[in-house]
């Protein structure tokens, strides 16, 4: 049986396009804490960004993790693009950074790959659970949590992959790692070629076996002000509807539950 090693790929939003760089760094720090708290060490992690965080050193915060500078393409031009067109630019930026992360880790014996946005969190047994399911070609994370940080409200969801890109682990057998990073390289990777919304449909149509874990292993932190997905909820009515739904679905989340997702809770 092949040796399991998970490659965790974190694309970091550029300082040039962030509304609050300190907030972006704070979100990443929490992600790194969640990774550092993993009960299993069978992973390698890379953060890929235009600028390295200034408030901390990544390799001092998180085990098995390095930072890689992304200078092949400029950040999305928020003065030139807006709306759906800007969203596409963000996706190109994100997926190209993921592709470079793959190229960085490719020599480290990675058996499975996971793209993790820099504002999403992992339960402390995420890597251990994925390792126990390594026989599957893909693991789709449909059960998870939404955390609305502004209101300190947690919801559960059984449709996590419909909302969040940090929702699929794939084996090396179904993922291509680019040799060169050009403007089309990201499309040759699994994460760049398949939208997270359609990943189950794609896996099924290609007769690729996948598992949906029963455990809620991932948390999507929403409403930080730096989420790329914030462009999808526009207008006062849509925001009001989301707020009401969030309040209705609120669950009790203990301090210990927050801790195992990387929160620094006293």
Strand order in the sheet with 112-115: 65-69, 43-49, 6-11, 112-115, 168-171, 138-140, 210-211
Name the residue among 231, 233, 219 with its Cα closest to residue 154: 219
Q: Is residue 249 part of a domain?
A: no
Average pLDDT over residues 141-157: 94
Task: Specify the number of domains making up the chain.
Answer: 1
pLDDT of residue 257 exceeding 60:
yes
Report how far residue 66's alpha carbon sits from residue 139's, in angstroms, rounded to the nearest whole number: 25
Q: Is residue 53 part of a domain?
A: yes
Neighbours of 76 (CB within 10 A): 23
Report how far residue 109's alpha carbon sits from residue 107's, in angstroms, rounded to the nearest whole number: 6
Q: Is residue 245 part of a domain?
A: no
pLDDT digits (tens, 9 = 90+) for 108-135: 999 999 999 998 999 999 999 999 999 9
Q: Is residue 240 part of a domain?
A: no
Contact between 151 and 211 (Cβ < 8 Å):
no
Report how far residue 88's alpha carbon sits from residue 107's, in angstroms, rounded to the nearest whole number: 30
Average pLDDT of every residue of the chain: 92
pLDDT of residue 231 exceeding 50:
no
Q: Is residue 244 part of a domain?
A: no
Contact between 30 and 149 (Cβ < 8 Å):
no
pLDDT of residue 98 exceeding 60:
yes
Range of the domain at 118: 6-140+165-212
The two tokens of residue 116 are 């993790």
Half-sphere exposure of 45 (CA within 13 A, CB side): 25
Q: Which residue would you say has higher pLDDT here, 225 or 210?
A: 210
pLDDT of residue 79 exceeding 90:
no
Q: What is the model's pLDDT at position 236?
A: 65
CATH code: domain of residue 121: 3.90.550.10
Q: Which residue would you say has higher pLDDT here, 244 or 226?
A: 244
Residues in CB range of 169: below 8 A, 6 or more apart: 6, 112, 113, 114, 130, 138, 139, 141
Query: How would residue 224 be classed by pLDDT, with cut points 50, 70 and 90?
Result: low
Q: What is the model's pLDDT at position 150?
A: 87
pLDDT digits (tens, 9 = 90+) for 161-189: 999 999 999 999 999 999 999 999 999 99
Query: How would residue 83 be classed by pLDDT, with cut points 50, 70 and 90?
Result: confident
Average pLDDT over residues 222-240: 60
pLDDT of residue 265 exceeding 90:
no
Q: What is the model's pLDDT at position 78?
A: 85
Q: Is residue 232 part of a domain?
A: no
Q: Is residue 51 part of a domain?
A: yes
Average pLDDT over residues 156-165: 94
pLDDT of residue 37 exceeding 80:
yes
Q: Would you list the DSSP string of 85-149? A: HHHHHHHHHHHHHHHHHHHHHGGG---EEEE--TTEEE-TTHHHHHHHTTTSSEEE--SEEEEET
The two tokens of residue 166 are 């940090």
pLDDT of residue 230 exceeding 60:
no
Q: 201: part of which helix (H) or strand (E)?
A: helix 199-205
Q: What is the model's pLDDT at position 220?
A: 95
Contact between 163 and 74 (Cβ < 8 Å):
no
pLDDT of residue 232 exceeding 90:
no
Query: How would residue 9 be classed by pLDDT, with cut points 50, 70 and 90?
Result: very high
Report the 3 state secondary structure along 147-176: EECCCCEEEEECCHHHHCCCCEEEEHHHCC
Q: Is residue 114 part of a domain?
A: yes
Please report where in the chains the tokens 């990387």 appear, as a residue. 262
Q: What angle do CA 238, 243, 246 make, to 5 degrees?
A: 125
Average pLDDT over residues 134-149: 96
């Amino acid at each position: 049986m092949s040796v399991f090693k998970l490659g965790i790929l974190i694309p970091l939003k550029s300082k040039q396009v962030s509304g609050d760089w300190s907030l972006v760094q704070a979100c990443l720090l929490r992600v790194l804490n969640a990774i550092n708290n993993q009960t299993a060490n069978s992973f390698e992690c890379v953060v890929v960004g235009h600028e390295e965080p200034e408030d901390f050193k990544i390799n001092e915060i998180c085990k098995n993790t390095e930072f890689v500078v992304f200078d092949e393409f400029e950040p999305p031009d928020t003065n030139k693009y807006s709306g759906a067109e800007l969203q596409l630019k963000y996706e190109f930026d994100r997926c190209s950074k993921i592709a470079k992360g793959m190229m960085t880790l490719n020599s480290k014996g990675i058996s499975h790959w996971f793209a993790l946005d820099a504002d999403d969190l992992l339960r402390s047994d995420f890597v251990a659970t994925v390792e126990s399911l390594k026989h599957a070609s893909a693991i789709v994370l449909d059960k998870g949590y939404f955390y609305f940080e502004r209101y300190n409200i947690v919801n559960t969801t059984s449709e996590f992959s419909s909302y969040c890109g940090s929702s699929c682990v794939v084996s090396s057998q179904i993922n291509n790692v680019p040799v060169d990073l050009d403007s089309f390289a990201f499309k040759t990777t699994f994460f760049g070629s398949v939208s997270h919304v359609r990943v189950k449909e794609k896996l099924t149509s290609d007769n690729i076996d996948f598992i949906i874990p029963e455990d809620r292993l991932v948390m999507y932190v929403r409403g930080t002000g730096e989420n790329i997905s914030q462009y999808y909820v526009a207008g006062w009515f849509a925001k009001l509807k989301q707020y009401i739904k969030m309040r209705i679905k609120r669950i009790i989340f203990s301090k210990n539950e927050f801790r195992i997702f990387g929160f620094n809770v006293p």
